[in-house]
Structure 1
Amino acid sequence: MPQFTVTKSNLINAPVEQVHAAVRDFRRWPTWSPWFVLEPDCEITFSEDGRRYAWNGRIVGQGEMEITREEAPRSIEYRLTFLKPWKSVSQVGFTFHAKDGGTETTWTMDGSLPFFMFWMKPMMTGFVGMDFQRGLTMLKDDVETGAVPSKLEFLGPQSFTGSRFIGIRRTCAMADIASSMSADFATLTAWFTGRELPPSDKPFAITHRWDFKSGAAEYTLGIPVATAPGDLPAELHAGELPSTRVYAIRHTGAYRHLGNAWTAGMMRARARVFALNRKIPPFETYETDPRTVREEDTVTIVRFPLK
C-alpha cells in the first residue's frame, strides 16, 4: 500500500505543560480541530477514560482516535482509524519541546492509502499537511488567547453578479500567498488613489491554481469597476468576473484561518453537496476592510461556482 508521512510544527507561546494539556484533552479538540470546524454538527463521542473519541459525519467521514502511548508532557501517540470514506489505520503523534520561551509543537502522521489510490499520494500528503497546519494555527490561538477567531456560516447556493475589474495576476509559493496578496493589494490601492475611478464593489481574489506537488499558487487580486481604462500599467490588467450561481461560505475571523472556509467548500464538493463548475475558478470576496475592523470581525465570503 502507498505509504506517506506528514510532519508540521508551530511555536506556541505557552509552557510545555499547558500545550500538552490542551492536546491531551479530547473534549477540547472541537475548539481547534481542523476537521470538526468543517462540519460543526458532526457526531462526536468520548470514552469515559478520556483516551478515545469517535466521530461520524457526512463531510468528515467516520472513524476514531485512541491514545496508545504517552510521556507527559513531552509526547502523545495515537492510533487513527478511518472507517469512511475508506478504511485505513495511521499512526499519529504530537511532541512538545521548550523553545524560545514557548513550546515547539510538532504533529506527525504515518499513513497509507488503498493500493488503487497510489496516484493520490502527493495530493493526500498536501491535504493532510494543510489540515495539520490549520489545526496547529487554531491550537496556537486557543492556547494563547482562549479563543479561535474563526466562524463558518454555510450560506449555500446563491446568485453572484459579476463585474469588470482591474487586477494583478500572480504566481507565488503557497506558503507566501498572504504576504504576496498583501503587497499586490497595496499596489492596487495605490494606483486607485487620486483617480476618479471609484470601485464599484468589494475587492476579491480568484484562485486559478493550488498545486500541492509544486507548492505553487496562482491568483488574481481584483477591484471591481464600472469601466476599465485602456492605459493601465504593465503589472495591472482589466478583466471580467462572470455572473454565475455559487455555493457560498461566510468566514468571520482572522484571515490566517480562512483556509477553514476553503477546505470546507472543497470537502462539500467531494461529498456531492454541490456540483463544482471547474470552468470558472473559485474566488473570495472581502466584505470588510481589515484596516477598520477588529481581526475577529473580519468577514470574507468564499464562493464556489456551480454547474
Structure 2
Amino acid sequence: MPAYHVEESIFIKKQPAELVEYLSDFTSWPTWSPWLVMEPNCPVTYQGTQGEVGAGYHWQGDLTGEGKMTLKEKSDKQLVIDLQFIKPFKSFATATFKIGPEGDGSKVTWLLDAKLPFFLFFMKKMLEQTLSMDYVRGLKMLKSLLEAGSIASKMELIGERQQAKMHYVALASEATINELGDLISSDYEKIYTHFKEKNISAVGAPITLYESMDMETSICKVRNLFPVENPVAVEAPFICDSIAESKTYVVKHVGDYQFIGNAWSYAMFSARHNKVKIKKMPAGFEAYLNNPHEVSTEHLETEIVLFAK
C-alpha cells in the first residue's frame, strides 16, 4: 500500500503549553477544522475526558464522511492522534502536532502519515497536495481563532445558476497558490490603469478565472479579468475574450480572502454530494463582489463559481 505524508507549519503567538492543552481538547476542533468548517451541522460525539490520552471524537457528515480520532500520546511538545476513516472508504492514519517555542510564541507543525488503499495508488500526489492545502487552511484558522478570537469566514450555498455569456479584458498569469494574492492585486491594478488610459468601462466585479492547476506543483494558470459590455480591441499582454453561457454551481464566501479556500472546498464537496458534475478545466472563477478598500475584512464578499457539465 502506497504511503503518503503531509507536513505544514505556522507561527502562533501563544505559548506551547497553552497550545498543547487547546489542541488536545477535541471540542474546539469543529471551529477551526478545515473539514468540519464546511459542514457546521455535522453530528459530532465526544469520548473520554478531553485533554487526556484516550479521549476522542466521532463525526458522521454528508460532506465530510465518517471517521473518528483518538488521542494516543501527549507531552509538553507533541500530540499523537490515531485517525480512523470509515466513509467514503476505510483507512487509518496518524496525525501529529509538534509544538515548540519560537520568538514570542510557538511554531506549530501538523503532520499526517498514512497509506492509501491499493486501488487508489494513482491518487498519491494529488491527495498529498490537496491535504497540504487543507492543513494550511486549518492552521490559518487556528492562528486567527487563537490570536484574534474569531475566524472571518462564513459560507452560503447558492447552488445551481445559469451564467450568461461574459466578455472580458484580462491578463494571463501563473503562480503558486501562495503567490496568487499578490499577483491578482498586481494584475488588477494594471488592467484598471489600462482601462483609464483607453476609456474602457468595466461592467461587473473583478474575476479570477482558474484555467488549470498542477496538483503536484500547486502552480495555477489564471486569467485576472474585468467584464466588459462588448469585445474591445486590446494589445498584448492584454487579452479580450469571453466566457460562454454555461451552467454553474455557486458558493458565496463572506470574510477574509485568506479563507476563500474554505468556500472552494465547500463548493466541491457540496456539488459531489448533490450529484452536480463539475468540469475539470477550467474549474471555475472567483468574483470579488465588493472593494477591500471600502469594507472591513470580515465583510468581504466573494463568489466561488464552478462550471457544471
Tell me which interval the TM-score lies in, with the shorter structure as reference length: over 0.9
2:108 to 80, 105, 118: 105
Equivalent position of 1:276 in the other structure: 278
Distance apart, 1:40 and its partner CA: 1.8
The 5 Å alignment of 1:28-177 reads 28-50=28-50, 51-72=55-76, 74-177=77-180
Distance apart, 1:160 and its partner CA: 2.1
Equivalent position of 2:22 in the other structure: 22
Q: SS of 2:263's equivalent?
A: helix
1:219-250 per-residue CA deviation (whole Å, 9 max, x = no partner) reads: 111101112331x2312100102222211100
1:233 to 221, 228, 235: 235
Q: In 2, Cα distance between the equivalents of 1:20 and 1:279?
A: 41
Task: Tell me which moved more, 90-99 or 196-205.
Answer: 196-205
Q: SS of 1:293's equivalent?
A: coil
Q: In 1, Cα distance between the equivalents of 2:133 and 2:167?
A: 33
Paired amino acid for 2:45: T
Distance apart, 1:6 and its partner CA: 0.7
Q: How many residues align?
A: 305
1:114-134 per-residue CA deviation (whole Å, 9 max, x = no partner) reads: 001100000111111111110
Equivalent position of 2:266 in the other structure: 264
Asked if 1:205 corresponds to 2:215, the answer is no
Task: Tell me which moved more, 126-135 or 264-273.
Answer: 264-273
2:256 to 232, 254, 257: 254
**Residues 129 and 215 in structure 2, CA contact (< 8 A), matched pair in contact too:** yes
Paired amino acid for 1:55: W
Distance apart, 1:90 and its partner CA: 0.4
User: What is the percent sequence identity of the aligned residues?
Assistant: 28
1:29-52 per-residue CA deviation (whole Å, 9 max, x = no partner) reads: 111100001222211111141210
Task: Tell me which moved more, 13-22 or 60-69.
Answer: 13-22
Q: SS of 2:199's equivalent?
A: coil
1:216 to 196, 214, 219: 219
**Residues 174 and 210 in structure 1, CA contact (< 8 A), matched pair in contact too:** no
Distance apart, 1:170 and its partner CA: 0.9
Task: Tell me which moved more, 157-166 or 245-254.
Answer: 157-166
Distance apart, 1:268 and its partner CA: 2.7
Paired amino acid for 1:45: T
Q: In 1, Cα distance between the equivalents of 2:162 and 2:41?
A: 26
RMSD: 1.4
Q: In 2, Cα distance between the equivalents of 1:47 and 1:61?
A: 19
Gaps of 5+ in 2: none
* Normalised TM-score (structure 2): 0.95
Q: In 1, Cα distance between the equivalents of 2:244 and 2:183?
A: 25
Q: SS of 2:8's equivalent?
A: strand
Cα distance change on mapping 1:71 and 1:31 into 2, 3 Å: same
Distance apart, 1:279 and its partner CA: 6.0
Task: Tell me which moved more, 27-36 or 11-20.
Answer: 11-20
Paired amino acid for 1:125: E
Distance apart, 1:194 and its partner CA: 4.7
Cα distance change on mapping 1:8 and 1:197 into 2, 3 Å: same
**Residues 212 and 281 in structure 2, CA contact (< 8 A), matched pair in contact too:** no
